[in-house]
Amino acid sequence: CPLGPALLFVKTSQGKEEGRRFYACSACRDRKDCNFFQWEDEKVSETRLAAREEYNRNHQPSFTHGQNVERYKNFVLLPLSKRRFCQECQQLLLPAEWEKHSDHQFLCDISTAQLKSPSQLLYPLENKKTNAQYLFADRSCQFLLDLIIDLGFRRVLSVGTPRLHEMIQSKASQEEDFRVRSLLLDIDFRYSQFYTEDEFCHYNMFNHYFFGGEAARETCRKFLYQDNGEGVIMVTDPPFGGLVEALASSFKKLMAMWKETEKEGQNNQEMPMFWVFPYFFESRILEFFPSFSMMDYQVDYDNHALYKHGKTGRRQSPVRIFTNLTPSMIVLPVEEGYRFCAICQRYVSSGNQHCEICDSCTSKDGRRWKHCVLCKKCVKPSWFHCNNCNCCALQNHACEKTDAGCFVCGKAGHKRSTCPSLSHT
């Protein structure tokens, strides 16, 4: 489809062990955004294949990355009064193109500062499942960059983190002694208007697809290969509606690309990584990356109503940093209430009290959790033990809903995704 190779899914029916497998778009979970659909065992006619290729061609950007780089060079030579940006087409305009966009809304007098901050010039694409461009707030962005510098990293592979990339690029152009460099991999092709082929690769993180082909892949490989693969960290902030399994598969492929540097003494080492994701995905991430641990730092976003840094309870952002670095190395800001737990050997939020029974700082959401003797674990403060369900839940929950059982085999005690009846490939 226009977003690269499709992924293989399975459609299951209640009570049936075998599901029927089909291909669908890797990035768009909603058929309205991309209607690609094909049964795995379906024979596709030549006519339909030709129509699909034609459709894919028509849904490519109007300019190539190389053409956009040339356009940018011409754009910056223009006097301020002739620098225009079309808000409807999300495109930098050269004077010869004004006529074609005459009935569109546009911004005039685009300054150099605006060109250096494209994430503030472009409309965020807020489709939760595909793009979900909720952009780091300055507080979180600055914290991440300071942390990266303090840990001694010199190169950042920014996968879907345009604002962090922007901050690094901006500092590199302003401060002579600033040594950190960044390469942005992002599905949003609009960034190709502002960055060269060495600074940005059009990339789909759900299927590890480089739209620029082998040349773009080589750009990424070279970036990882510098200094024998030393001093590089991957920072990623995927859409929260995205499939963890697909993301993990792509990240492992990027790690494998880094591993090809054949650095001496590397053995089973993983490329250092920060994966920014909500805390309630912890078990899914650890399933694919057992070496990862979750930090208590709350990441907040500029353009998201809920994911903002709060002080109490529900107002707190659920977004955290998952990393394969040693937790004690990640120093969190004391002025924001984080403190070091000497037993856990990591920084925790002020409300995260060490539980002596669990022998761990157990809170995930910033509130102080309580230990349930019957469940043998700590639970949220608003939960109570229910004897009917034999576990802790909200006080006004509907009891024994679990009787419905698994969607595939109908038995209780597990979900469809872990059903032993499903044949895993």
| pLDDT tens per residue, range 259-287 | 887 665 555 688 999 999 999 999 999 99
Average pLDDT over residues 327-351: 90
Contact 302, 267 (CB under 8 A): no
Would you say how long the chain is, in residues? 425
Domain region containing 420: 395-424
- How far CA 42 is from CA of 17, 45, 48, 191, in Å, comes to 21, 10, 12, 37
pLDDT band at 109 (very low <50, low <70, confident <90, very high): very high
Res 312: pLDDT:
44
pLDDT of residue 164 exceeding 80, the answer is yes
% of residues, the chain, pLDDT over 90: 54
Three-point CA angle 39, 42, 43, nearest 5° = 150
Same domain, 176 and 297: yes
Spatial separation of the C-alpha atoms in residues 158 and 236, rounded to whole Å: 6
pLDDT band at 15 (very low <50, low <70, confident <90, very high): low
- Stated pTM of the model: 0.87
Q: DSSP character for 367?
A: S
Same domain, 213 and 325: yes
Same domain, 185 and 82: no
Same domain, 160 and 245: yes
% of residues, the chain, pLDDT over 70: 86
Last residue of a domain, one of 21, 43, 59: 59
pLDDT tens digits, residue range 211-244? Answer: 999 999 999 999 999 888 899 999 999 988 888 9
Which candidate, 45, 44, 24, places its Cα nearest to that of 35?
A: 24
Same domain, 214 and 77: no
Tokens 């190389």 locate to 66
pLDDT band at 425 (very low <50, low <70, confident <90, very high): very low
Spatial separation of the C-alpha atoms in residues 237 and 277, rounded to whole Å: 7
Same domain, 185 and 281: yes
Same domain, 301 and 330: yes
pLDDT of residue 403 exceeding 60, the answer is no
With H, G, I as helix, E, B as strand and everything else as coil, classify residue 203.
strand
Find the helix or strand (DSSP H, E) in which 156 lies: strand 155-159
Res 311: pLDDT:
46
